[in-house]
Amino acid sequence: MIGGGFIRIIQAEISRVLRKPFFCVIPLLSLIYVLYLEIGAYNNALAFHKGTIELPTGVPNPFAGVDLSQMLYWFRWENITTAAGATYLAGWVGIILVGYVGAVWFADDLRTGVNKQIAVLQKHLMPVVVGKILTLALYMAGILIFIVLGSVLTTLFLSDVPGREPAALLRWIPLRNLMLYSIIAVMWACLAAMITLLSRSPVIGVAVGVMWPFAETAILFSGNSTIQLLIAKIAPISTIQSILAFVYDRFSWVIDSAPVILWTTSPPLTRTIENGVIQPYLLPISFLMTALVIYTFVAVGGIILGYYVSVRD
């Protein structure tokens, strides 16, 4: 079964997924979450620019005299893909939604026993499982594209947004970042799916997919022991955060020494101790990508193994 068989399986999976209301709600929730932050950041930028924002007594306006178009840098269409996608994945809501989807993706097969029926209908399970994984990847990419398009369209209603150039959406950097975000989302979703299948429990899969980001961040931020600093270099959420920092290309969170209203900020979890001072730092992107790819391959392998085991009594 090559080519036509794969397409047939993916078409069938897409058709199934679209008929489950849950999978139609998730993109909407994702978009609402990102738009909430987008519009909030826009309003903050205006308030800072006009000086109408309420600041604590004695605290000067850090953006006094800064050009509004510079403060709205991340709303430019050449940058909005980067900002929207990172907003979604850097925040708790986004990564949790991704983990939840991954955990639930195979849950119906386990819960209903459809996986066993499929195992009778199809001698070669590999194309079916890979087809389901590819559909999950398409779904994740679809959510990110949906978020980006929604963010772009929203800027049409935000009058001061500069740089609304449609061609800018198709430049290499935004497309590269969109691809990276998709891989991140697929990686995290597949890890949650793997837990569901290997434990044969959607509840455990959801628990891990949803709670792991909290747990990892709490553990890594709770101290600076050698082990914690080492784990921070390779743990999955830490890897994701570091990649997001890379795509922002903005380690100090400023542009040209002028402060910029950022849509979202999430410092990387990797850090080092220099002269007794904790300093966040970024690992090389090649290392981060290798980690991302390894995690994805491990997750995919775990899904395949878990599915094969699940069809046997």
Partner 1 sequence: MFELVEVTKKYRNHEALKQLRFVIEPGVTAVVGPNGAGKTTLFNILTGRIFPTCGTVFYNGQPVEKIRGNLGYLFEDPPFYPYLTAENQLGYFNALREYPVEAHEVERELEKWDIPPKGKKIKDFSQGMRKRLGLANAFLGNPQIVILDEPFNGLDLEGQQLLEDTFVTYRSKDRFLIFSSHQLERITLLADRIVILDQGRLVYTGETKELAEQATKVIFYLPGDISMDLLRTPLVLEIGKRGVWVTAAVQKEKGPLFLQHLAEHGIVPQSSRLLISELEYVFEEKQVSRRLPY
Question: 10 Å Cβ neighbour count for 99?
Answer: 26
Nearest Cα to Cα of residue 137 among 286, 296, 305: 296
Of 51 and 113, the one with the shorter C-beta distance to partner 1 is: 113
Give CA angle at 27 (210, 197), nearest 5°.
40
How far apart are the C-alpha atoms of 90 and 69, rounded to whole Å? 24
The span from the CA of 181 to the CA of 244, in Å, is: 8
Q: From the CB of 128, what's the least distance to partner 1, in Å?
A: 6
Establish if 304 lies at the interface with partner 1 (CB under 8 A). no
Comparing C-alpha atoms, which of 250, 273, 272, 275 is closest to residue 263?
250
CA-wise closest residue to 10 among 130, 114, 110: 130
Helix axes 125-155, 80-90, angle to 10 degrees: 120
Instruction: Count residues binding partner 1 (CB under 8 A).
Output: 27
Q: Is residue 21 near partner 1 by the rule CB under 8 A?
A: yes
Select the residue interacting with partner 1 from 32, 92, 112, 254 (CB under 8 A).
Answer: 112
Q: Is 108 in the site for partner 1 (CB under 8 A)?
A: yes
User: Are 216 and 235 within 8 A, CB to CB?
Assistant: yes
- 271 φ, ψ (degrees, to nearest 5): -155, 165
Query: Whose Cβ is closer to partner 1: residue 118's or residue 207's?
Result: 118
Q: Is 227 in the site for partner 1 (CB under 8 A)?
A: no
Instruction: Kindly state whether residue 117 participates in binding partner 1, applying the rule CB under 8 A.
Output: yes
Stretch that binds partner 1, among 78-86, 107-115, 206-214, 269-277 (CB under 8 A): 107-115
69 contributes a contact to partner 1 by CB under 8 A? no
313 is a site residue for partner 1 (CB under 8 A): yes
Half-sphere exposure of 75 (CA within 13 A, CB side): 28
Residue 201: phi, psi to the nearest 5? -140, 110
Rule CB under 8 A: say whether 12 interacts with partner 1. yes
Please report whether residue 123 would count as binding partner 1 according to CB under 8 A: yes
Q: Is 14 in the site for partner 1 (CB under 8 A)?
A: no
Q: Which of 35, 39, 68, 119 binds partner 1 (CB under 8 A)?
A: 119
State which of residues 61, 69, 70, 122 lies at the interface with partner 1 (CB under 8 A).
122
8 binds partner 1 (CB under 8 A): yes
Applying CB under 8 A, among 2, 19, 227, 276 the residue interacting with partner 1 is 19
Task: Give the residues lining the site for partner 1 (CB under 8 A).
Answer: 1, 8-9, 11-12, 15-16, 19-21, 108, 112-114, 116-124, 128, 311-313
